[in-house]
């Protein structure tokens, strides 16, 4: 079975996003994977009270949809993730792990997720950064089987909908898919980290926040 890389953006792509999209598309071709850029509201149409942005992160949970069951692995990347192909590329699908653990979120200390969405949060349970998440077919099916969209929306804090990180955290706890998984983290300095943290020859780099202004 083949592998798939997804990104999501709703509306016209700014220049930095187009550069990232092209780099990730090129990377997918190099490693023999398919690539799709999602738009609109593939996971859930947000209620009108929600502040909907082009990068509405809740839509990234669409990666668990059954339409992708033809793929063994699905990788969801933020739009500000760039593939660096001037070095020999490292195929992320050759590595075990889901992404990078969000240790601060897991600790419960000074944690916006536990404050904003207490119904979805479990202190100490694995939580991942949302910029780079890789799930195999059995994991996606297990998450989908426990995913109640109405429950997720009802866990909103006023007009702040749950983000992809807390939803993924909740579904993983609810499905218990990580109980027997031996390796949770990808080599994150090669695939998940910020520009200033990444390995000098990293394959995927996160240009989060104002860092994207440095993309040429």
Flag the least confident range among 129-133, 137-141, 148-152: 148-152
Going by pLDDT thresholds of 50, 70 and 90, the confidence category of residue 1 is confident
pLDDT of residue 52: 63
Tens-place pLDDT, residues 21-43: 999 999 999 999 999 999 988 88
Q: What is the token pair recorded at 160?
A: 């702040």
pTM: 0.94
Percent of the chain with pLDDT over 90: 69
d(C-alpha 40, C-alpha 43), whole Å:
9
Domain boundaries, the chain: 2-214
In terms of Cα–Cα distance, which of 140, 134, 139 is closest to 67? Answer: 140
Q: What is the CATH number of domain 2-214?
A: 3.90.550
pLDDT of residue 216: 72
d(C-alpha 178, C-alpha 126), whole Å:
8
Tens-place pLDDT, residues 70-115: 999 999 999 999 999 887 889 999 999 999 999 888 887 557 777 7
Arithmetic mean of pLDDT over the chain: 91
Q: Where are the beta strands (DSSP E) in 19-70?
A: 34-38
- Report the SS3 class of residue 35: strand
């Amino acid at each position: 079975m083949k592998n798939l890389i997804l990104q999501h953006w709703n509306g016209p792509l700014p220049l930095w996003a187009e550069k990232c999209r092209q780099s990730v598309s090129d990377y997918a071709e190099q490693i023999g994977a398919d690539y799709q850029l999602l738009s609109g509201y593939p996971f859930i149409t947000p209620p009108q009270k929600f502040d909907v942005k082009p990068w509405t992160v809740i839509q990234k949970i669409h990666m668990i949809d059954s339409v992708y069951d033809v793929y063994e692995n699905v990788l969801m990347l933020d739009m500000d993730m760039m593939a660096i192909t001037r070095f020999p590329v490292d195929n992320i699908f050759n590595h075990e792990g889901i992404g990078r653990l969000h240790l601060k979120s897991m600790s419960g200390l000074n944690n916006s997720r536990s404050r904003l969405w207490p119904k979805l949060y479990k202190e100490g349970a694995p939580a991942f950064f949302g910029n780079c998440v890789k799930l195999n077919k059995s994991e996606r099916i297990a998450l989908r089987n426990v995913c109640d969209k109405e429950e997720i929306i009802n866990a909103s804090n006023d007009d702040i909908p749950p983000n992809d990180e807390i939803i993924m955290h909740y579904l993983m706890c609810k499905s218990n898919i990580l109980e027997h998984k031996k390796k949770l983290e990808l080599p994150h300095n090669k695939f998940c980290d910020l520009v200033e943290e990444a390995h000098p020859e990293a394959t995927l780099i996160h240009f989060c926040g104002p860092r994207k202004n440095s993309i040429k």
